[in-house]
Structure 1
Amino acid sequence: MMTAAQIRQSFLDFFQEKQHAIVPSASLMPQSPGLLFTNAGMNQFVPYFLGVWTPPWNPARAADTQKCIRAGGKHNDLEDVGYDTYHHTFFEMLGNWSFGDYFKTEAIDWAWELIVERWGFPANRLYATVYAPDKSKGDPGEFDQEAWDCWAKHFRSKGLNPDIHIVDGNVKDNFWMMGETGPCGPCSELHVDLTPEGATQGSLVNQSSDQCIEIWNLVFIQYNAESDGTFRNLPARHIDTGMGFERVASMIQGTNGFTDFSKRISNYATDVFAPLFTKLEQLSGRTYADIYPQGGAKTIGDNEQQLREAIAFRVIADHIRTLSFSIADGILPGNNGRNYVLRRILRRAVRYGRQLGLMKPFLAELVDTLVEQMSPVFPELAARSQSIKDTLHREETSFNETLDRGLDLFDAEAAAQGKISGDFAFKLYDTFGFPIDLTALLAEERKLAIDTDRFEQLMEEQRERARAARKSQIVRALDLKTDAVTEFVGAEQDECESPVLEIHEQDGIVTVIPARTPFYAEMGGQVADHGTIRIGGETYPISGVQQIGQARAHLVDAATGISISPGDTVTLTIDADRRRSIEAHHSATHLLHKALQEIVSMDIAQQGSFVSDERLRFDLNSAAITKDQLRAVEERVNAWIDADLPIACREMPYADIKNNKDICQFFGDKYGDIVRVVQMGGEEGALNGISMELCGGTHARRTSAIGFFKIKSEGAIASGVRRIEAATGPHGYGIVQEYIAAKMPDFATNLEKLAEANGKLADLGVETVPMPPNAEHPAEQAVAARDIATVNARLADFDTYFEAMKQAALDAEKRLKKAQAAAAASQADALLNDLLAADNIVTLAEGGNELLTELFNGLKKRQYAGAAFLIVDDGSTLYLGAYCGERALAEGTQAGKLIQTLAPIAGGKGGGKPDMARGSASARTAANELIAAARKALHIS
């Protein structure tokens, strides 16, 4: 029987044999602005279907496994996750594509060959659907006779009647459209009869039954839907297929290689999810049971704790996949759009973790398990694993505080009122930061009504208040109308004298409009200057600078007592040190833009920027930029800085340069007759610099004034848009120091883990794990280095040492776990040797959870026929176990019921199967009472 990894690889190998290029999965950040996430395998290939791109493969065929998320938006499976066997927010879609190459015959032949001949699906359990239009309703196209004939050939080859195994489908089920207009065509699906007898004769096809599931959809793109409602034939015909990877795994593994259809199959009962369940069992001390609500019901009874826990296992396992893959692709939890969907998913996972007793942050502890399982296919998981862990831990830690506070308030309200009013839900959200979707989940669990209409009314009122507040906070200078003109001299001067042209006073603000100024108003992403205004020997701080038409307004707080009138002469002085830092960051932004174009792609264009005295932010259109590319960009920018290139800013007629492709300008922007060109390097007046842009901001005089340049971060902020944050000079060195400081807690944690594990290994007489070499980390050398290549090399050494420490700690913990298991096995053997003569057993032993596991293993190994209740005390927790052998089961004793009955005596809980169950309890002082109750339950005198 194939593993999930073997199934995936078998699919890719098969189509590689059929001359398909195996392409990597597209990012979960979709290319289409209308999608929250990539939600189908075909998303990345739409430009080929539309003819916008030419397929680069010869022949024009491709296959892949595509990461998909369906949560939020049109395709939203979030609320069903955990309650049934097949809904997920994250899943893989196996697919093969032809772009104007092969068509129906090959697609169907290969589908049959893979499914039946290679994977061994029983042909008698397969049903194919073909498109049969209802002409009375205006359905497009004709009956898909070609697809019917192809399928018929294969069913007949197995002695099966195609009239039974080929089912007609309507527009809804068997005609695929990308949208109201565009490429479309009939499709043909393969469904699998999973009933025990396998004799439904196709009656369950397309009936939403989990006993007859679609496994593969073959789409034949041959028409274009026109805006007038007609369909025309495309000049080229395409194939687009999608197969649910998790569904295939469940069918192959859930039927033991198609030998046993007696059990209900589940995507969760596969090795796709098993490693995550195992890790969750270790973290929680609970045991996963593959059980589901009757009829897919969402309401769970108060006494169905094991079912609640099973749902929690599935929700968490699904959600950690969604979260980890999204973060790896640069989509982070946040407050808007897809980012909020992720935050909501994370919070649901945390909430369900509470049902497994996971009260502290735990999601990050699942990441290594997922990375080990999935990174051979999706290497981005391993590359971003630390970022994934950090993001999850940060979000979960923050939310736990909100959750604890909100749960207390919710429980009190529910007990007092018996319902959740919209006002209370709004209070939870507005005052305590408790999200409405979580309030709704809690209300659903407790079967309470919630007034969401009132909540939305209050939310809209709050939004309106916020809009009004923002409007009132806008400085009234923006409302002024003036024909005054202020000359900006700040490109050359830090201070100037000027006559005052106009004075306006309102709302406690004195607005001064001078004839000339060195102050830069916030424009083009560059922040405004700080500084002072001096008149009559008194100096006053300027609180803001704004541009009003051609005038520059300088704002002074009236409370300063400034006395000023039109015609007065004032001295305006900017904070020169702050301006120099702003100029350095602005000039570095131009160099960064050029370096990105040279190293990453000439198609890169600025999508937004922000320049202050402390940092710069640069938004660009691009796919994710690799670490190697970012390092190369850093080195290129710093090389230009070290070259001490001249920076020239000059005004020119726009007509002279508008067609010059070497000068960066933002197409679509409207420029005046005269523009300002900022040139870095090259000869004065020759327009031959390494970087040339149209820009009205202020700049350094030479690149050497920029100082050290360092990138802090790079990530996605929108579909196809990335953001780079960086800094120069002392702030650039600050990034290095912050990076090192952020690593130190992790280093200390792993050092502590290594020491603790080694101490326990020594106590057990087992060889310890040595400290990694080069224990003195090169942090100071990294900060002291004067060139970026040396800095990055030192940081690489720094990271290597930290990773070595982390690995040493992991190795020590693994060695300790193995040693403890061996010691526990020995202890369990000795203990059982003294106990097995009894008909039933109740025993208390000192040790950890691993001792309980080994006691179970010993009882099974010895085929113990009686019942046993086992208590293991590790000094802080009582680990409880119940075991029922063949005789005990025959007498009606059940392990799960024993745990459920006895654990509460010591303030604990748990559950499991009739033959074996686990639990835990915190009231260690109740151990003797628990022993007595267990002896009574097992009839031990």
Structure 2
Amino acid sequence: MESREIRSKFIEFFESKKHKFVPSAPMVLKSDPTLMFTNAGMNQFKDLFLGNATADYTRAVNSQKCLRVSGKHNDLEEVGIDTYHHTMFEMLGNWSFGDYFKKDAISWAWELLIEVYGLEKDRLYVTVFEGDKEDNLAFDQEAYDYWKAFIDESRILNGDKKDNFWEMGDTGPCGPCSELHIDLRSEEERAKVPGKELVNQDHPQVIEVWNLVFMQFDRKSDGHLENLPAQHIDTGMGFERLAMALQGKHSNYDTDVFMPLIDAVSKKAGIEYGEKEETDIAIRVIVDHIRAISFAIADDQLPSNNKAGYVIRRILRRAVRYGYTFLNLNEPFLHELVAVLASQYKGFFDELESQKDLIAKVIKEEEASFLRTLENGLKRLEQIKQRLSKSGEQTIPGQEVFELYDTFGFPIDLTALIAREHNLSIDEAGFEKAMNVQKQRSKADAVSEKGDWITVNDEASVAFIGYDEVATDTTIIKYREIKEAKRTVYQVVLEKTPFYGESGGQIGDTGLLTSDTETIKVLDTKKENDLIVHFTDKLPENPSATFRATINEDRRVLIKGNHSATHLLHAALRDVLGTHVQQKGSLVSDQVLRFDFSHFSKVEDEQIVEIERIVNDRIRQNIALDEKRNVPIDQAKSLGAMALFGEKYGDFVRVIIFDPKYSVELCGGTHVNATGDIGLFKIVSESAVAAGIRRIEAYTGPKAFEHVQAQDKALSEVRDVLKNPKDLTKAITDLMDGQKRLTKIIDTLYAKQANVLKKSLLEEVSAQDGFNALVAKVLLPNADGLKKLAFELKNEVENLVAVLAADIDGKPQIAVIIADNLVKEKGLNAGQMVRELAKEIKGGGGGQPFFATAGGKDLFGLDKVEIKANEMIAAL
């Protein structure tokens, strides 16, 4: 039975039992703070189990994309080593939300496996929960009794909390479960060792196929269990394992789920799968990992250096490393598998087919980048291994692990993996020590002497009032002096302040602190933990005085315009480029806004135009700011707020909305009262900053207007030069075409001139003892002409040694050319000669023994070059 049919039969069976088919949720979770990835089919139904949401159905069936590489469920290290663990896998499941419970779940599972799929019941075993004293849970007698109606009691096994109490994570819905295991061994092997002795013992042929979870508890954060509002059914059957059982294979990888990918990798590497365990493992790792990587990118999670993106990058690099090390795949290859994968899942998971080009481009960029790192790092690691082998040591020192990390970009887990493969270990404690030393050194470089805080009022607390006020009367809580290597810094903390401390990409405010007797300039403001620190030009003379804190309001106005424009830009990028766009960093200042975002290719000119149009449309609409403070984080997410890169969020957040259908973001920065205050938005550059990361810089308000004016002025000047043509583009095109024609004419004239020059030079060639010589000073239009002339002379004169001292557009250049036979027989070297001659024009150069050139600064030195060249030739 082909895998497509296996999946279809499962869905059709439960649809016949009045289950609603629900499409797979994304594999990469964006809204659940307890999970990074979907690790089970029930994740998308979590709120239904908890009673927090309702649906128009009480029964559901689907095939869910899952990823288990982090947290409680982490199968990464087993993947490829055995034949039944995977990073990404499909989980076939059926659910009941307060409808049927154990009886129907058990009877339908048996009916499907035996009557629909035709599995042999004497190969099956089931497990039931034996109870747990810690959680005060009893033996699952109810499940046991239902199973007795279908299977011999000798095949019903007790399972402990580890195997038979299913939990999604540290918290959330959970409950006892019954697992179905199948023994795929031969009849002879089964006669020797009963299958029940191998259940849950990691035997590759006695495996769990289906888990029926009886969801009835909610695990709270303190560990205790509470009853859910209703009892539910949550089942999960490994699609790949079921295919193995139904297709009579001994490995998941031998099924049609993986074989097209295995064949593609084998063909690429020129290695037959099944011949050698080492290469088989590598191939299994690759075909497993390409699925996880591709589905993650399809779900809008690009590889990166943090959180979910780091996990995907780690999986990708693991696959590349196995291909590089064991299959001699030294060029990017993973991306070529995307088309094969998309074809396999076409018709069910069509997101791969629709995004296959995007996915392949992202993967190829990541591969190329890591291969460069890998090659350099592996060379260094090989040197370390050889040294350890000679000394008999078994541990890679922490300092060298840190060197691989710091210099070659090797993650510590990759170094540990390679070390294990060579029976070595790594000194993790030494690595951490080296890391801390670097951090301390960085701190020492930044600060040489930090003064103690001088407290003025130790009972006061810091309050930021800058959202509503631009000036206030306040007092100083504390201050200090910091002597750095190149300057002295003064810091002041105020009891309440309108100054915004740099955070979330927005720069800090500047302004003044004024008392009756002094004025202190605030040069910058930063947020340091819970403090807002003002950097000043001096320390207060009377720290206990009352100060008027006043920000530079004109500067703040410009900053607010840029920050609000950043939100509008973010929304427009997602609108034009796709919802895969995510912020990866930003700078919001009074001069410019800079926005880094995930995207696989250059933003095209027409896309830039469209993005600008959308943002400026929103500005002209003068959308009023809807600011919500102290909003519970869950409520903010329910509003559709997007968490921005680099922000730290607590239980209560601030939400910035410019039209709830357009831009809703969590943000602690300052913003305009309405989008019309921004005035104008103009993108000035778009570039790449890293693989898969693009950067846009833009101006707003007066700065944007100045930029547009400058562009308009330049355009006006061009019009004036061209005598105000009606069609400026055509006029410029005609001018360029004319220039091309003139260039061709000039090139022709130069060629004729060069031909005349060559004939003249041929007459100057003089016969020496065993060779012909030419030293001449020439005038040529470019360096290419000099090179061409030199080689034409060499082709027409036998045994030639020629030195040409050229004036090229007012700059001196020398060319030395020598016949090949003279280089070989007399040991002459044009490179040595030209380096010596270059001294006369205050320059340098080099080249090959038969041809070399040099440039310099002293045009008048060419006469000396001629004299010296003649002396050198006379000495040959």
Provide the TM-score with structure 2 as the length reference.
0.59
Partner SS for 2:311: helix
Instruction: Say if 1:452 and 1:364 are closer, same or farther in 2 by CA, change over 3 A.
Output: same
Letter of the structure 2 residue corresponding to residue 345 of structure 1: I
CA distance in 1, matches of 2:437, 2:267: 47
Instruction: Say if 1:646 and 1:95 are closer, same or farther in 2 by CA, change over 3 A.
Output: closer
Instruction: Say if 1:196 and 1:99 are closer, same or farther in 2 by CA, change over 3 A.
Output: same
Q: How does 1:385-534 map to 2 (within 5 A)?
A: 385-418=356-389, 419=393, 420-465=396-441, 468-469=443-444, 472=447, 507=483, 508-509=487-488, 522=502, 526-528=506-508
Q: How does 1:477-626 map to 2 (within 5 A)?
A: 507=483, 508-509=487-488, 522=502, 526-528=506-508, 544-545=524-525, 582-588=559-565, 611-612=588-589, 614-615=592-593
Aligned to 1:47: 47
Deviation of 1:464 (Å): 4.9
Instruction: Say if 1:329 and 1:490 are closer, same or farther in 2 by CA, change over 3 A.
Output: closer
Instruction: Say if 1:39 and 1:708 are closer, same or farther in 2 by CA, change over 3 A.
Output: same
Residues 800-823 of structure 1 deviation map (CA, whole Å, 9 limit, x = unaligned): xxxxxxxxxxxxxxxxxxxxxxxx
- 8 Å Cα contact 1:707-1:728 kept in structure 2: no
Instruction: Say if 1:237 and 1:586 are closer, same or farther in 2 by CA, change over 3 A.
Output: same
Residues 4-53 of structure 1 deviation map (CA, whole Å, 9 limit, x = unaligned): 12212221222122221211222233454343422222222222222222
CA distance in 2, matches of 1:547, 1:385: 43
Identity across aligned pairs (percent)?
44
Instruction: Say if 1:694 and 1:477 are closer, same or farther in 2 by CA, change over 3 A.
Output: farther
Aligned to 1:28: 27
Instruction: Say if 1:411 and 1:704 are closer, same or farther in 2 by CA, change over 3 A.
Output: same
Deviation of 1:112 (Å): 1.6
Q: Does 1:362 align with 2:333?
A: yes
Aligned to 2:89: 91
- 8 Å Cα contact 2:506-2:669 kept in structure 1: no
Partner SS for 1:352: helix
CA distance in 1, matches of 2:574, 2:409: 42
Task: Find the partner of 2:248 among 237, 241, 254.
Answer: 254
Letter of the structure 1 residue corresponding to residue 351 of structure 2: E
Give 5+ residue unaligned stretches, structure 2.
471-477, 514-520, 540-544, 577-582, 598-607, 630-637, 642-648, 687-692, 705-728, 730-876
Deviation of 1:88 (Å): 1.3
CA distance in 1, matches of 2:382, 2:167: 48
Q: Does 1:317 align with 2:287?
A: yes
Aligned to 1:3: 2
Deviation of 1:223 (Å): 5.1
- 8 Å Cα contact 2:501-2:532 kept in structure 1: no
CA distance in 1, matches of 2:665, 2:79: 53
Residues 81-113 of structure 1 deviation map (CA, whole Å, 9 limit, x = unaligned): 212111211111111110110112211221122
Aligned to 2:273: 288
Greater RCO (CA < 8 Å, at least 6 residues apart) = 1
Deviation of 1:114 (Å): 1.4
CA distance in 2, matches of 1:15, 1:395: 41
Aligned to 2:234: 240
Instruction: Say if 1:421 and 1:703 are closer, same or farther in 2 by CA, change over 3 A.
Output: same
Letter of the structure 2 residue corresponding to residue 310 of structure 1: D
Letter of the structure 2 residue corresponding to residue 279 of structure 1: A
Deviation of 1:121 (Å): 0.9
Task: Find the partner of 1:194 among 184, 207, 214.
Answer: 184
Residues 864-893 of structure 1 deviation map (CA, whole Å, 9 limit, x = unaligned): xxxxxxxxxxxxxxxxxxxxxxxxxxxxxx
CA distance in 1, matches of 2:33, 2:651: 20
Deviation of 1:615 (Å): 3.0
Partner SS for 2:93: strand
Deviation of 1:80 (Å): 1.8
Residues 847-880 of structure 1 deviation map (CA, whole Å, 9 limit, x = unaligned): xxxxxxxxxxxxxxxxxxxxxxxxxxxxxxxxxx
- 8 Å Cα contact 1:131-1:186 kept in structure 2: yes
- 8 Å Cα contact 2:285-2:319 kept in structure 1: yes
Aligned residues: 629
Deviation of 1:729 (Å): 5.2
Aligned to 2:858: none
Instruction: Say if 1:547 and 1:182 are closer, same or farther in 2 by CA, change over 3 A.
Output: closer
Aligned to 1:812: none
Q: Does 1:347 align with 2:308?
A: no
Partner SS for 1:102: coil
Give 5+ residue unaligned stretches, structure 1.
156-161, 256-264, 292-305, 494-501, 534-540, 559-566, 600-605, 620-629, 653-660, 672-676, 682-689, 714-722, 735-779, 781-941
CA distance in 1, matches of 2:99, 2:341: 37
CA distance in 1, matches of 2:682, 2:382: 53
CA distance in 2, matches of 1:251, 1:50: 34
Partner SS for 2:41: coil
Deviation of 1:278 (Å): 2.3
- 8 Å Cα contact 2:265-2:283 kept in structure 1: yes
Structure number with greater Rg is 2
Instruction: Say if 1:706 and 1:469 are closer, same or farther in 2 by CA, change over 3 A.
Output: farther
Provide the TM-score with structure 1 as the length reference.
0.55
Deviation of 1:192 (Å): 1.1
Instruction: Say if 1:126 and 1:423 are closer, same or farther in 2 by CA, change over 3 A.
Output: same
- 8 Å Cα contact 2:72-2:169 kept in structure 1: no
Q: Does 1:703 align with 2:676?
A: yes
- 8 Å Cα contact 1:587-1:700 kept in structure 2: no
Instruction: Say if 1:633 and 1:97 are closer, same or farther in 2 by CA, change over 3 A.
Output: farther
Deviation of 1:702 (Å): 6.7
Deviation of 1:402 (Å): 1.7
CA distance in 1, matches of 2:651, 2:241: 48
Which stretch of structure 1 is more off in the superposition, 439-448 or 455-464? 455-464
Aligned to 1:154: 150
CA distance in 2, matches of 1:11, 1:61: 14
Residues 833-853 of structure 1 deviation map (CA, whole Å, 9 limit, x = unaligned): xxxxxxxxxxxxxxxxxxxxx
Deviation of 1:544 (Å): 3.8
Deviation of 1:315 (Å): 0.8
Aligned to 1:140: 137
RMSD of aligned C-alpha atoms? 5.9
Q: Does 1:68 align with 2:83?
A: no
Instruction: Say if 1:476 and 1:617 are closer, same or farther in 2 by CA, change over 3 A.
Output: farther
Deviation of 1:62 (Å): 1.3
Aligned to 1:105: 103
Aligned to 2:264: 279
CA distance in 2, matches of 1:184, 1:637: 46
Aligned to 1:164: 154
Partner SS for 1:111: helix
Q: Does 1:176 align with 2:173?
A: no
CA distance in 1, matches of 2:111, 2:232: 20
Deviation of 1:318 (Å): 1.1
Residues 258-308 of structure 1 deviation map (CA, whole Å, 9 limit, x = unaligned): xxxxxxx1011111112212222333222222x6xxxxxxxxxxxxxx322
Q: How does 1:789-808 map to 2 (within 5 A)?
A: none
CA distance in 2, matches of 1:68, 1:544: 47
Deviation of 1:415 (Å): 1.8
CA distance in 1, matches of 2:466, 2:445: 32
Deviation of 1:316 (Å): 0.9
